[in-house]
Amino acid sequence: MTLRWFSWVFLVGPLFGQAAGGDLLEAKTLAKLAAMDAGLDGTMGVAVIDLKTGGRLCYQCDTWFPTASTIKVPVLVEVVRLIRAGKLSYDQRVPVSKSEVVPSSAAYEKAVAEAGSLSVRELITIMIQNSDNSATNKLIDLAGGFAAVNTRMDEMNLPGIRLRRKMIDLGAAKADRENIATPRDMARLAEMLYSGKVLDAVSSREILEFMGLVKGDVRKAVVPAGTATKTGSLEGVKCEFGIVMLPKRPFAIAVFGAYLGGESPVPGATKIVFDHFRKLDRANAAGRFLE
């Protein structure tokens, strides 16, 4: 089975290397994504990795998209690396102040008022679960800044993920220093977390546990399957990436949209992909449902 990536704009051919019936199923899935994209008021990119076989689905997945809050997971990766190196600890207390508060930071503001500090674990939790922007900016500083996070992504062979501004820095965004990523590399990051290859198995598991706190559009679209994801939202931007834990056919998914008029592509694209994998989860290689 080939592990190469394919860019899909129109329907091209077999993807996951199944038997003939599986090829037809894949073709229909790609056609559904293309049809959905044609009716979307904006642009969309989707990357999927079959975590059982290693097969890839890539629909416009090499396009750069704004990451919105999904960039918070790469920040977390570098923070966890520093924890493993003994340069930070989960229990370490970090002072917080009112001057650091930016919009969408309710949990951080509460800590400023009540305690004046947060542990690194608390900062991580509210960054991922609450998508708290002030906590993210504090963790970017603790991680060593943009260069440290981007160097870590480069060392993981994920050059398609770039941290270029702090949260709610409109000036940087206007200067085109947006945080950006390709769906391909975000899906690969999720795959590496699942396989225990982000730093080490323990670190990967810890990061996924934080992502498991997120209740986003992916989780709503795949009930009752478990998920570990991170959501993102900005003006004209909706995105989410992570893992769907189907019992026999888990998969990594990254859905990114830009220039959107209001509708998010995440629920629709996730449902299309989930329906595909749910069939594979129930069937043998020839397409017979076994349960």
Q: Would the pLDDT of 63 be above 70?
A: yes
Tens digit of each residue's pLDDT (9 = 90 or more) over 246-276: 988 999 999 999 999 989 999 999 999 999 9
Q: How far is CA 51 from CA 6, 8, 185, 219, 243, in A?
A: 17, 20, 15, 18, 9
Per-residue burial over 190-226, b if 16 or more Cβ lie within 10 Å, else e, is bbbbbeeebbeeebbebbbebbbebebbbbebbeebe
Q: What is the DSSP string of 187-207?
A: HHHHHHHHTT-SSSHHHHHHH
Helix, strand or coil for residue 219?
Answer: helix
Residue 27 tokens read as 């073709």
pLDDT computed for residue 285 by the predictor: 82
pTM of the model: 0.91
Residue 171's pLDDT band (cuts 50, 70, 90): very high
Q: Would the pLDDT of 12 be above 50?
A: no
Question: How many Cα neighbours within 13 Å face the side chain of 105?
Answer: 22
Please say whether the dihedral angle defined by the alpha carbons of residues 272, 11, 162 and 82, taken in this order, is positive or negative.
positive
Tens digit of each residue's pLDDT (9 = 90 or more) over 189-228: 999 999 999 999 999 999 999 999 999 999 999 999 999 9
H or E, element range at 151? helix 146-155
pLDDT computed for residue 204 by the predictor: 98
pLDDT computed for residue 21 by the predictor: 61
Domains, the chain, with CATH or none: 1-63+182-291 (3.40.710.10), 70-168 (3.40.710.10)
Tens digit of each residue's pLDDT (9 = 90 or more) over 98-139: 999 999 999 999 999 999 999 999 999 999 999 999 999 999
The answer to whether the CB of 71 falls within 8 A of the CB of 29 is no
Q: How far is CA 89 from CA 120, 121, 160, in A?
A: 7, 8, 29
H or E, element range at 27? helix 20-38
Return d(Cα 258, Cα 126) in angstroms, integer.
25
**Lowest-confidence range among 74-78, 163-167, 282-286?**
282-286
Return d(Cα 138, Cα 112) in angstroms, integer.
13
- In whole numbers, what is the pLDDT of the chain averaged over residues? 91
What's the one-letter identity of residue 96?
Answer: V
